[in-house]
């Protein structure tokens, strides 16, 4: 029987997730029960004696399975942010069930007949643009997922999907286990030379928490990044860099090489089965970019612009390291270290100099203030709803008239049950049903430096932009105002989803915005304007190398998914060949990017990693518009809110963008901002 604790709507304030009383063992029976209920809703649609209509078929389908969706979002978000061995085990059981249920829908002939009947008569229906989009999306969800296949091919598709769901989970579990497994304990204080006091104190505290003497460093970003950036001990930088680069690439029980080969092969087989040349052709049919050829052209054109700059920057860095320390050959473990030293020399700018001005609480309040000035949002911290961990902060979001907009969860610090990186996610989507606008529950998850005994959490400038990036995604979710859940918030084309997040990063570089929150955590002094100028000046520092790095990941993704992977037997050899045109550092035999490339092998970015760069073109062009009018200009902000943030996936993204901007985006703004053209 379905557990009371997981029965929706929840008997909680704002219908929030009752984390406190959820037991792991509740999940499996609840999933089974919720799947049964969702199947009944599907059968009711199929057995409806009335002729298929938009309302009784398409709309009914979009609102079906609400309970299952809600439980899935709670469970899989916990599996990313607060997992346990028990949850991972349940995930391995649940994923095939969900994959099978999804196939039960898309491969159901009777249901497809009804959907097709509505789709075939769409010219006679008086539909809104949003309803037209939903109808097309529902029809394609069937046709693109096997509805037109013969029975034997449908069986094969089910098998592929079941295997893929398990393999992707296993891939992620291996990466997390490898991250948690590695520890570097330092007992000689001289080995900490160059490290900032905050990093030393955090390492000392971590060692103490594990009952160890000395200073403990891990592969969690707040521990890893300061070490490879500041530690003078080159051998230890190498040790840490190789450990990070060899995650799930050690030919042991946590190795992901076979998983990578199997995932790419199954994706290719699936695409072929559905009549597509490759997985990339399948994916990109539903993207702004439209085809692998367009993506390759886009990436290679940027590569052509960025490569000469990147090579020049790398040669300068090599010369600098040689002059400074007699380093003959710059290696991967030297990059961050000498880049930071060169940046300090050129701009007299050091992350350690900036960090006192970026206390986490102040940066959060800064993001809130900017959201208020732009989009009329107010954030009030609340303590009367459940959270899944004590570190999580919870907020009620309202507009200037006091209307309830959203619940917002923020989870900022690393811990063993949490995967690395930063992401935004949804616990409950927004939609309008029975004339009621049901508001969303949105969460952002990051891995920032924890407060220590003597210092609050002080962010590097890179962490500040990360927070604003994820907050941009969150705004896309919070401000959603669509009728249908499957078109709400971030349910947009994947190469459009990064626009709201990347555009928000721009405010971090503007004097007018920094003045709102960048104050010294001890003295309260405003960040000096010469530092603000240096932040702006240094914004394009090593932009060529950064661009080359991003392009290399996009090209690697397209290489895995834009061709038949059947002949690839050696993951490392394949990857090395792919990186030949973009790599600056000497190859290291111990490391492999693909085996820990969770974005494309576990997350949703397969054939989509290029979208970060694609969205940069959009965001640079969009922010240019803000700058022309003033970065807090209400007219431009309202246009962005009403035409982009609130619209979700209701229309083609280019239509929405042009409605906001008045024209298609031009890449010039990005190239100019990046300093790649004069």
215, HSE (Cβ side, Cα atoms, 13 Å): 20
Helix (H) or strand (E) holding 306: helix 292-325
Distance CA 461, CA 300 (A): 30
Residue with the two structure tokens 């401000």:
479
Q: What are phi and psi of 185, to 5 degrees?
A: -95, 125
Residues 6+ apart with CB under 8 A from 360: 412, 448, 456, 457, 458, 459
Count CA atoms closer than 13 A to 509's CA, side-chain side: 19
Beta pairing, strands 423-428 & 431-433: unpaired
Q: Strand order of the sheet with strand 441-445?
A: 377-381, 393-399, 404-411, 441-445, 423-428
**Counts for the chain of helices (H) and strands (E), in that order:** 27, 9
Backbone torsions φ then ψ of 211, nearest 5 degrees: 60, 45
Tokens of 594: 């693909």
Taking the CB of residue 448, how many other CB atoms lie within 10 A of it? Answer: 21
Active-site hit among 173, 470, 510, 575: 470
Strand pairing class (404-411; 441-445): parallel
Beta bridge partners of 442: 408, 426
Whole-number Å distance between alpha carbons of 411 and 448: 9
The half-sphere exposure of 126 on its side-chain side, counting CA atoms within 13 A, is: 0
Beta-carbon contacts of 288 under 8 Å, excluding residues fewer than 6 positions away, are: 493, 495, 496, 614, 653, 654
470 in active site: yes
Closest by CA position to 295, among listed 669, 33, 577, 558: 558
CB contact at 8 A, 94 and 31: yes
Counted residue by residue, the chain has a size of: 678
Neighbours of 238 (CB within 10 A): 17
| DSSP letter assigned to residue 566 | G
Distance CA 545, CA 404 (A): 44
Catalytic residue positions, numbered:
470
């Amino acid at each position: 029987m379905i557990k009371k604790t997981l029965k929706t709507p929840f008997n909680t304030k704002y219908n929030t997730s009752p984390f406190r009383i959820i037991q792991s063992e509740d999940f499996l029976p609840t999933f089974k029960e919720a799947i049964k209920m969702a199947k009944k809703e599907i059968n009711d649609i199929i057995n409806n004696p009335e002729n298929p209509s938009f309302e009784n078929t398409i709309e009914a389908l979009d609102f079906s399975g609400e309970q299952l969706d809600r439980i899935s979002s709670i469970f899989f978000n916990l599996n990313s942010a607060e997992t346990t061995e028990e949850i991972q085990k349940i995930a391995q059981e649940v994923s095939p069930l969900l994959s099978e249920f999804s196939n039960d829908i898309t491969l159901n002939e009777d249901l497809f007949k009804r959907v097709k009947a509505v789709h075939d008569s769409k010219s006679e229906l008086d539909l809104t643009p949003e309803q037209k989009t939903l109808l097309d999306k529902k029809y394609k969800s069937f046709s693109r997922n096997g509805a037109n296949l013969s029975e034997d091919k449908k069986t094969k598709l089910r098998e592929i999907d079941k295997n893929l769901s398990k393999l992707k989970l296993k891939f992620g579990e291996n990466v997390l286990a490898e991250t948690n497994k590695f520890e570097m304990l330092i007992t000689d204080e001289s080995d900490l030379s160059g490290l900032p006091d905050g990093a030393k104190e955090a390492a000392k505290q971590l060692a103490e928490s594990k009952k160890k003497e000395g200073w403990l460093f891990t592969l969690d970003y707040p521990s890893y990044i300061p070490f490879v950036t500041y530690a003078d001990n080159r051998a230890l930088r190498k040790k840490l860099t190789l450990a990070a680069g060899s995650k799930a690439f050690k030919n042991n029980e946590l190795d992901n090489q076979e998983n990578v080969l199997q995932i790419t092969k199954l994706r290719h087989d699936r695409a072929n089965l559905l009549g597509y040349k490759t997985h990339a052709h399948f994916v990109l049919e539903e993207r702004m970019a439209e085809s692998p050829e367009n993506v390759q052209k886009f990436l290679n054109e940027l590569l052509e612009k960025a490569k000469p700059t990147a090579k020049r920057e790398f040669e300068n860095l090599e010369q600098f390291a040689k002059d400074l320390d007699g380093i003959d050959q710059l290696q991967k473990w030297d990059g961050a270290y000498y880049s930071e030293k060169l940046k300090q020399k050129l701009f007299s700018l050091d992350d350690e100099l900036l960090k006192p001005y970026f206390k986490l609480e102040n940066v959060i309040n800064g993001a809130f203030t900017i959201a208020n000035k732009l989009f009329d949002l107010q954030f009030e911290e609340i303590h009367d709803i459940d959270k899944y961990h004590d570190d999580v902060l919870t907020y009620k979001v309202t507009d200037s008239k006091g209307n309830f907009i959203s619940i917002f969860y923020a989870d900022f610090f690393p811990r063993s049950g949490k995967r690395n990186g930063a992401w935004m996610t949804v616990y409950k989507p927004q939609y309008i049903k029975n004339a009621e606008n049901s508001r969303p529950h949105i969460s952002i998850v990051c891995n920032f430096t924890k407060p220590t005994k003597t210092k609050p959490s002080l962010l590097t400038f890179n962490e500040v932009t990360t927070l604003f990036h994820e907050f941009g995604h969150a705004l896309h979710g919070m401000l959603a105002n669509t009728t249908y859940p499957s078109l709400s918030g971030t349910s947009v084309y994947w190469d459009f989803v990064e626009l709201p997040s990347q555009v928000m990063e721009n405010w971090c570089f503007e004097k007018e915005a920094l003045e709102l929150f960048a104050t010294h955590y001890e003295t309260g002094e405003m960040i000096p304007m010469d530092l603000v100028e240096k932040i702006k000046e240094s914004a394009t520092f090593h932009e060529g190398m950064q661009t080359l790095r991003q392009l290399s990941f996009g090209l690697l993704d397209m290489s895995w998914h834009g061709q038949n992977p059947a002949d690839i037997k050696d993951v490392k050899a394949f990857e090395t060949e792919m990186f030949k045109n973009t790599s600056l550092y000497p190859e290291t035999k111990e490391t492999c990017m693909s085996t820990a490339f969770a974005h494309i092998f576990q997350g949703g970015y397969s054939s989509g990693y290029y979208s970060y760069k694609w969205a940069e073109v959009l965001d640079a062009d969009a922010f240019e518009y803000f700058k022309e009018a003033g970065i807090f200009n209400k007219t431009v902000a309202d246009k962005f809110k009403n035409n982009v943030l609130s619209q979700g996936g209701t229309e083609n993204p280019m239509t929405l963008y042009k409605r906001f901007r008045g024209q298609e985006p031009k890449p010039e703004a990005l190239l100019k901002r990046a300093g790649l053209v004069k």
